[in-house]
Structures are given as structure tokens and as C-alpha cells.
Amino acid sequence: MRILISGGAGFVGSHLAERLLGHGHDVIAVDNYFTGSKRNIEHLLGNPRFELIRHDVTFPLYVEVDAIYNLASPASPVHYQHDPVQTTKTNVMGAINMLGLAKRLRVPILQASTSEVYGDPEVHPQPEEYWGKVNPIGPRACYDEAKRVAETLFFDYYRQHGLDIRVARIFNTYGPRMAADDGRVVSNFIVQALRGGPLTIYGDGSQTRSFCYVDDLVSGLIALMENSSNEPGPVNLGNPGEFTMLELASLVVEMTGSSSVLEHRDLPADDPKQRQPNIEKAKKVLGWEPKVALREGLSTTISYFQSQLA
Ligand code: NAD
Ligand code: UDP
Ligand code: UDP
């Protein structure tokens, strides 16, 4: 199959491209390099089954493919809040264009949605049935609300046009090829620890997240796309292991052998207090669950950043 990945030069997109090529598919990566980088996929550029197109998904795209993974969107709060209007445009207009493409070609399309659709949740852990608690006018809204509209669009193309859709709600994912300046917590803590600077804890550090290693996520995305029961989702994909940011910081300090200290900063507005996926649906429908424990995934990620910063 020839498979299109929008956001294919990003962190998750580059791992997905690599895996799909390994499965014998042709891959077309589409990216405008807003947060991604050619460096993430430079090892694939010599592969005749891999093609890279510089393109912004807010504009129409006419190509011929057999399946689409729609990943184009900045994912780090620092980056998606840098140009919030563009974030909404990418997620809404980008979704419309990718859905229009899928509709013309009558091919399946997967949406990289997010646990952010649950906002600052009142239900814990979060099952797919929970509708979420999102501030529509806060600084995170450009991402949260745009991802929610994208889900609406996916389900309306499904109901109105009979499109074959797959919606994955991705929970915090980490691993090699996150950008050193990405701004998300795992890469921040590792880079800060390796440089010997203070680890920046936002707020008191008691807020929680559940961290999924990128290889596990990629397996889940492919399992959802290739699922023979045509499950449209939404399906939560994440690792239920839940940690406070203080726990994560001390684990990173221990594993890097760093002498870094912790430094508290203001908690950003609307920062969710707790987050943990309920993955019963993914287990039941996809036969998927994550395999890589946090300590194991951090070890690989730390080695990656060591080689990058050397
Ligand atoms: P990333 O920032 O590394 O990758 C996103 C990619 O999309 C980048 O290569 C970027 O250049 C590209 N992009 C952005 N705007 C674009 C546009 N207008 N046109 C074309 N390309 C564009 O982030 P990631 O972690 O790899 O995230 C990939 C997807 O998964 C995103 O949609 C994100 O919302 C979703 N997601 C990720 C996580 C996570 O923890 N990694 C969690 C939930 C959802
Ligand atoms: N589109 C695209 N590539 C295609 C087909 C459509 O980029 O191969 C875009 C085009 O910009 C269109 C949008 O997808 O406006 C939505 O397509 P759809 O067919 O749903 O609606 P239209 O706007 O054409 O009525
Ligand atoms: N965070 C932190 N220090 C950092 C970066 C983030 O304490 O240097 C916190 C942030 O406030 C949030 C959590 O870590 O509570 C996860 O943040 P991230 O930006 O990785 O993703 P989010 O899940 O908030 O989208």
C-alpha cells in the first residue's frame, strides 16, 4: 500500500514512517517543518519507497494514496500556543483537506486526536465515553478545541459520506526524536538533567500524567488502522502507568546520574491536574496494550539525548 502521513517529519510521524516502510509499504510524508525536521527522517531519504513533500495541510493536496494517517499539528503546549490561530487552522482546515482527499480516493483515514479532548478531567481514569472539561477560550483552546472539532469532522464524514475513519486519542507519548527544545516535560527534564541545569517543575509538581513509549503508540496506531472490524473509535492509546511530575523528575535525575536540582515555576493556565487513560477498549477491540515500562523507555530516550547533546 502507498500510505500518506501528514506530519511525517515529526516525532511520532517519523517512527510511524519507519515502521510502515519495514512492513513493506510505500510512505509519502507530508510536512511543513513547523515543529518537525528533515533530520528525523534523513535516514529514510535514500529509500526508494519513501517520499517527502513540503506542504502545509491547511492548503488542498492532490495525491494518490491507499490510506492516510493525519498527524500534522504541533503537539507541545509551547509550540501550539506560539501561533494559536495557525494551530486551529492546521487542525481544522488540515482535517477538512485530508478528509476531502480520503473521500475522493475512498480510502481509510486515521486521526491523531489527543487526551486533551478530555481537558482538565473530572472523571479519572478517562474512558472514551467521557465528554471532557475544556475551557473554550483559554490558552490551550486552540489545540484542545481544534482537536475536538477535528473529531466532529471525522465523525460527520463517517456518518454523512460513509468514510472509513479511525480516531485515536493519544495520551502523552515520549521517546527518541522529540526535539531538544520541544518544551514537553519528558524531553525538558532529560535535557535539563544532562546539561546539569535545574529541572523546571511547573506548580507544585503534584499533577499527574501517564507516559507511553513511542514504539507502543505506533503499534497501537497501526492496530487501529488495520483493525478488520472497521472500528471508527475513538480509542484511547496510552500507558496507564500514572506519575506525578515530581516522581518523573526524580526518576530522570536518578537515571541520568545528574546533580541537577529542582526549580519550581508558575503552573501554566488550565494545566490538567491528572491524566490517565482507560485502555479497556483498545485491549478488547485491538488486542493492544503498551509493553514498555517508563524506566525502560526513559533509558532509550536518555541515550538518544546523550548522543544528540554530545
Ligand atoms: P511533532 O510536533 O513532533 O510533530 C508534528 C508534525 O506536524 C511536525 O513535523 C510539524 O512540522 C508538522 N506540522 C505542523 N503543522 C503542519 C501543517 N500545517 N502542515 C504540515 N505539517 C505540519 O508532534 P508529535 O508528538 O509527533 O505529534 C504528532 C501528532 O500526534 C499530532 O497531531 C499531535 O497532536 C498528536 N498527539 C501527540 C501526542 C504526544 O504525546 N506525542 C499526544 C497526543 C496527540
Ligand atoms: N481536497 C483535497 N484533496 C483532494 C480532495 C479534496 O485537498 O483530493 C480538499 C479540498 O480543499 C476540499 C476539501 O478537501 O475543499 C474538502 O473536500 P470535500 O470533498 O469534502 O468538500 P468540497 O469542499 O470539495 O465540497
Ligand atoms: N511540565 C513541567 N515542567 C516542564 C514542562 C512541563 O512541570 O518543564 C508539566 C506541565 O505543567 C504539565 C506536565 O508537565 O503538568 C506535562 O506537560 P507537557 O507539556 O509535557 O504536556 P501536556 O500533557 O500538559 O500537554
pLDDT in tens, 42-66: 999 999 999 999 999 999 999 999 9
Q: How confident is the model at residue 310 (pLDDT cuts 50, 70, 90)?
A: confident
Pairing of strands 242-244, 208-210: antiparallel
Mean pLDDT on 158-162: 98
Write down the residue that cell numbers 503498551 correspond to: 290
Query: Whole-prediction pTM value?
Result: 0.98
Structural domains of the chain, with CATH: 2-174+212-238+276-291 (3.40.50.720)
Mean pLDDT on 135-147: 97
Ligand 2 geometric centre to CA of 139 (Å): 30
Best residue among 15, 28, 30, 34 to mutate for probing ligand 1, ranked by most atoms within 8 Å of CB: 34
158 is catalytic: no
Number of the ligand 1 atom closest to the C-alpha atom of 94: 18
In angstroms, rounded to a whole number, what is the distance separating the alpha carbons of residues 3 and 17? 9
**pLDDT tens figures, 207-226:** 999 999 999 999 999 999 99
Query: Is 271 close to ligand 3, i.e. is its CB under 6 Å away?
Result: yes
Query: Is 93 close to ligand 2, i.e. is its CB under 6 Å away?
Result: no
Q: How confident is the model at residue 41 (pLDDT cuts 50, 70, 90)?
A: very high
Kindly state the percentage of the chain with pLDDT values over 70: 100
Hey, what amino acid is at 221?
Answer: L
Residue nearest to atom 13 of ligand 3 (CA): 185
Q: Is the pLDDT of residue 240 over 90?
A: yes
Residue nearest to atom 11 of ligand 3 (CA): 202
Query: Is 207 close to ligand 3, i.e. is its CB under 6 Å away?
Result: yes
Q: pLDDT at position 117, please?
A: 98
Q: Phi first, then psi: what are they for 65, rounded to 5°?
A: -140, 170
Specify whether the CB–CB gap between 276 and 124 falls below 8 A: yes
Evaluate the CA torsion angle 202, 206, 209, 214 in order and state its sign.
positive
Q: Phi first, then psi: what are they for 274, rounded to 5°?
A: -150, 150
Q: Is the pLDDT of residue 22 over 90?
A: yes
Pairing of strands 235-237, 165-170: parallel
Query: Is 13 close to ligand 1, i.e. is its CB under 6 Å away?
Result: yes
In angstroms, rounded to a whole number, what is the distance separating the alpha carbons of residues 11 and 72? 11
Query: Which residue of the set 69, 80, 118, 143 is catalytic?
Result: 143
Q: pLDDT at position 179, please?
A: 93
Specify whether the CB–CB gap between 180 and 308 falls below 8 A: yes
